[in-house]
Amino acid sequence: MDEQMFFEKLKGLDTSKEIFKFLSSLEVMSDIMAAAALQRIFEVEVDGDGLKNFEGVLENEVFRALCFQLEYESSKLSNTGLLNALHALIKLRIDPQSSLVASLLSESQERLGKGQLTIKNLCNLGETLLELEGPSCATLEQILNHVQGKDVEEWSPSEMVMVYRMLQMSVREGEQYQDLLNRMNNVTLTIASQLSPKFTSIVLNSLVVLQQTQAVPLVITLCKHSVKHVPYFTDDELVNVLEAFLYFGHREQVFTEALETHVPKSVFSMHPETVSKVMKYCCQKMILSKPIFDAVAECFISDADGFTTNQIAECIVPFGTLNYLPPSTSSFFGKLESILHTRFSQFQPHTLLSLLHSCVLIQRYPVNFLPKIFSPYFLQQLQAQPPGLDRIVTSQLTRLFLTATLECPFYQGPKLLPKYQVKAFLMHSCSLDVHLLNRVKTGLLSLLKKRIYFASEVSTPYFYTVDIEIKLDEEGFVLPAAQCEEINRRIALCVDGQNRFCINSHHLLGEEAIKQRHLKLLGYEVVQIPFFEIESLKNSRKMAAYLRKKVFPCAYGLRC
């Protein structure tokens, strides 16, 4: 039988018993065929727990004959047959000290020393040694030195991918071989369009692990190229691609659109890790994709019991962060409450806090769980685990406490002690659009004539910072900002730049929505000044007219 026919027949066999029966019918096999047979036995008989049918494989006379042939003809084997056989035997957990493995290893190292191995051979040997001895294997450096001496431009896409994968597994940070990586990155940039979904995923994953932050053109090209592969990625491959988008801080609108088409059709067959990674991507990129969010909500309702606690949190938190309630809100949060009741103790403290904090952003109140959150035991758990009680954590605790106070007056459980509360909620540096704020201040100055009649970035006793505050007396006259008496109304202007909205939308983020909701409950008259209403106002006169209509729809006056 010729080799091509042999390989096709072998690929269709699904048990070692079928493989041995097939092999016993052959009168003669080449070394490459024998190595391929071992590889197929490994594929069908080895899983995460090891060799499934130990005695049925290792004691089989056909298997033993294969091993005998390989051991005593090792010097006559082709490079491909030698290295494929060695790799399969290591995967089958054959004793590394056995004469068979020792003979093949010795022959491999001899050929390595003579420089007889191709790039593919070198990568096969490298992966086998990594499996056998780990990254500390001394021969790996010798292999990589041979690889460095090869002409990168002559490598095929599959050889390029094999080297990336070997470097990823053996070098990690890659500093020692950065020159090689630079050459590889430059060549890969020219062949990116030729890479299959699997190869695209492997290269992106390697660039992340090897921290190739300087390879921006390659990353962008691969990310763009990955768009057409979205329907064809396996779960693991899609996770690798999403992690690359997250690690390198990249975003592609067409990639999001491809996900919006793919996820709703495939979400029920996706692995939970893939589903949660899609949501993490949307959350970090501030992408409110209703098709994705609605599909994930339906998947969560039916399949959430198969999710880990971290995966559950990664699916839920984006709904609060991006301020979105799916059509199936009642069932969605009913399922979440059921999970919290049965698996509460399984959640890591910081994960649980982030999850509950995201719920209050969209007015889903975890009142039944607040006594446990505010308990000394839980707060000690938070403090004991990184990042401890940092500013973000205490802000989340404070917002839960303020929500319970303002929006859940029926809550009678424990309160959050002042020592765990922040004095002011953390304002992200990118949250306030200073240029936009200055334009509004210029418009107000034109309207009110004097700067004393409004204050900017005002700290309140209620943890929030007001972008601009205007005070009015009982008769509707504007008071000086410094005045503390005879104040009848306080107007809070929320100057909302693009960073306070989901990307490419007019949909306010969760933390901004709850801030405006709470300011109203605290007695402020909240006036939202969104960027999309004022970006076309070209001068202070037009801005003043806009603010006059927006802030003072009724008559107002100044006491001169």
Q: Which of 240-244, 453-457, 551-555 has the lowest mean pLDDT?
A: 551-555
Please say whether the beta carbons of 534 and 543 come within 8 A: yes
Overall residue count recorded for the chain in this entry:
560
Mean pLDDT of 207-215: 93
Mean pLDDT of 467-483: 93
Residue 284 has phi, psi (to 5 degrees) of -70, -30
pLDDT at site 411: 93
Split at pLDDT 50, 70, 90, the class of 472 is very high
Q: pLDDT tens digit string along 140-163?
A: 889 998 999 899 999 999 999 999
The neighbour count for residue 257, using CB atoms within 10 Å, is 14
SS3 191: helix
Q: pLDDT tens digit string along 285-306?
A: 999 999 999 999 999 999 999 9
Q: pLDDT tens digit string along 486-525?
A: 999 999 999 999 999 999 999 999 999 999 999 999 999 9
The tally of CA atoms less than 13 A away on the side-chain side of residue 165 is: 21
Inform me whether the pLDDT recorded for 274 exceeds 60. yes
SS3 410: coil
Q: How far is residue 292's CA from residue 362's CA, in Å, rounded to a whole number?
A: 18
Could you write out the three-class secondary structure of 265-291? HHHHHCCHHHHHHHHHHHHHCCCCCHH
Q: pLDDT tens digit string along 76-119?
A: 888 988 888 888 888 888 888 889 899 999 999 999 999 999 99
The tally of CA atoms less than 13 A away on the side-chain side of residue 326 is: 24
Copy the structure tokens of residue 555: 């008559």
pTM of the complete model: 0.88
Higher confidence at residue 44 or residue 146? 146
Provide the residue type at 77 as one letter: L
Q: How far is residue 504's CA from residue 195's CA, in Å, rounded to a whole number?
A: 31
Inform me whether the pLDDT recorded for 32 exceeds 90. no
Inform me whether the pLDDT recorded for 423 exceeds 60. yes
> How much is the mean pLDDT over the chain?
91
Q: pLDDT tens digit string along 7-26?
A: 889 888 988 889 989 988 88
pLDDT at site 72: 81
Higher confidence at residue 184 or residue 72? 184
> Residue 504: which region, alpha, beta or left (left: phi > 0; alpha: psi -120 to 50)?
left
